[in-house]
Amino acid sequence: MRSLEGAVTLHSAVVSDSPRFQYRGFMIDTSRHFYPLRVLYQHIDAMSYAKFNVLHWHIVDDTSFPYESSTFPEMAQQGAFSPRHTYSHKDIADVQRYARFCGIRVIPEFDVPGHVTNGYLALKPQIVTTCYDVPRYPTGPLNPTINATYEFLDKFYDELKTVWDDKYFHIGGDEVVKRCWMSNPQIKQWMTEHPEIADYHELQNYFTRKLLAMLKQKELQYICWQEVFDSGADLLPDTLVEVWIPEKWQETMERVTAKGYKTVLAGPYYLNLISYGLDWHNYWRAEPTNYTGGVEAEKHGLIAGVEVAMWSEYVDATNFVARSWPRAAAVGERGWSPKNVTDIEDASRRLHEFRCKLLKRNINAQPITNGANQTSPVLFKHHCEEEWEPHYDPVF
């Protein structure tokens, strides 16, 4: 490009680029620790720079219920950490608007029937199962045997579909404590009266069938954690099954795609499982088709994409962004670039350069390697020209 008497001339160029996978997601957890909106906006900026296009918002869980429901306001009043640690309808609209401007869709998760203790206990009548002699669990999943549970869900989703722009909802379905159901006298009596429900896995399927029928009637689509598939539930053909258990993700991907369901792979991309050293290598090398039938599954569009997961047991507004970036970009590249991009040394250069660009944009991304460079032959400057500095004015 050159300038001549105020004119600007651009030499033409053709860039041919497209994503390998349609779904490139990042899951955040605002239940175990609350993230202020300014942190969410900064994170969305970083996502857009790394070509992520889905923010999976795990907004509530056992630990807290920060969503301000207009239909059931008592859930946040009792379930949030404090009145300041909540998201209003306006907050959610602002986040969705900002994300949409950055080319990112926001898919909310309201996990059921498990992970529901905090907030749901405020409801009357009570729809959370009381556990009997189950260590660590005084209360458990939603009670799938009473009408009040489905009456609540019907009203709740009527509200949610007016708040969230996306037609997809993540329904959860993971880690249901079935021992709690098994211990409850009322549920045991119901099971006796309904012999067609053979066991407690089928009881979860019974709940899932009723919930999915409700969502279909409301013209909503859904994503679920892999346990919903594992339990043998009747899933709609366009179901997205999220595979998350790290130890056996390849086996699960094989089973899910063999049944013709689309998948989102998160299992090898859990950023909250930090380790000492170059852990981003593990994420970058985790090839989504690396299982029996994986190449054919990709060819037929059954691998929708990949998703980073950052659970927040030990992450809050002070370290969420730094711990996520630039490590997440390794997964972003795996979701975008062709399969034959396998040069880890070249990736190291690019990831370091990306980290420097994040710092210049005031995103406090952590370093990707030992500054002394004693274990890698990669030849690049390990310190960016402009390191990030926190905005702090000391008071004397």
Q: Is residue 9 part of a domain?
A: no
User: Which residue blocks in the chain are alpha helix, DSSP H?
Assistant: 37-49, 74-79, 89-101, 117-120, 147-163, 178-183, 185-193, 200-217, 226-230, 249-258, 280-285, 294-299, 320-324, 327-336, 344-360
Asked if residue 370 has pLDDT above 80, the reply is no
Per-residue confidence (pLDDT) for residue 277, from 0 to 100 = 85
Indicate the average pLDDT of the chain.
92
The catalytic residues are 175
Within 10 A of 46 (CB to CB), how many other CB atoms are there? 23
Q: How many domains does the chain fold into? A: 1
Q: Average pLDDT, stretch 277-284?
A: 93
Contact assessment for residue 85 and residue 64, using Cβ atoms and an 8 Å cutoff: yes
Asked if residue 3 has pLDDT above 80, the reply is no
Asked if residue 371 has pLDDT above 80, the reply is no
Asked if residue 4 has pLDDT above 70, the reply is no
Q: Is residue 387 part of a domain?
A: no
- The CA distance from 58 to 98, in Å, is 18
Q: Is residue 5 part of a domain?
A: no
Asked if residue 239 has pLDDT above 60, the reply is yes
Q: What is the band of 372 on the pLDDT scale with cuts at 50, 70, 90?
A: low
Q: Is residue 107 part of a domain?
A: yes
Q: Average pLDDT, stretch 121-144?
A: 96
Per-residue confidence (pLDDT) for residue 236, from 0 to 100 = 86
312-368 pLDDT, tens digit each: 999 999 999 999 999 999 999 999 999 999 999 999 999 999 999 999 999 999 998
pLDDT > 70: percent of the chain: 92
Q: Which of 124-133, 173-182, 329-338, 375-384 has the lowest mean pLDDT?
A: 375-384
Q: What is the band of 5 on the pLDDT scale with cuts at 50, 70, 90?
A: low
- The CA distance from 97 to 210, in Å, is 32
Q: Is residue 49 part of a domain?
A: yes
Q: To the nearest 10°, the Cα dihedral for 380, 383, 388, 393?
A: -170
Per-residue confidence (pLDDT) for residue 384, from 0 to 100 = 81
Asked if residue 1 has pLDDT above 50, the reply is no
Q: What is the band of 16 on the pLDDT scale with cuts at 50, 70, 90?
A: confident
Tell me how far CA of residue 211 lies from CA of 128, 157, 195, 217, 368, in angstroms.
16, 10, 21, 10, 43
194-213 pLDDT, tens digit each: 999 999 999 999 999 999 99
Per-residue confidence (pLDDT) for residue 387, from 0 to 100 = 62
Cβ-proximal residues to 209 (8 Å cutoff; 6+ apart), any chain: 233, 234
282-319 pLDDT, tens digit each: 999 999 999 999 999 999 999 999 999 999 999 999 99
pLDDT > 90: percent of the chain: 85
Asked if residue 393 has pLDDT above 80, the reply is no
Asked if residue 373 has pLDDT above 70, the reply is no
Q: Is residue 116 part of a domain?
A: yes
Domain interval for residue 255? 17-341
Q: Is residue 279 part of a domain?
A: yes
The CATH code of the domain that includes 245 is: 3.20.20.80
Q: Is residue 281 part of a domain?
A: yes
Q: Average pLDDT, stretch 118-128?
A: 97
Contact assessment for residue 380 and residue 356, using Cβ atoms and an 8 Å cutoff: no
Say what the pTM is: 0.93
Q: Average pLDDT, stretch 165-182?
A: 97
Per-residue confidence (pLDDT) for residue 275, from 0 to 100 = 86
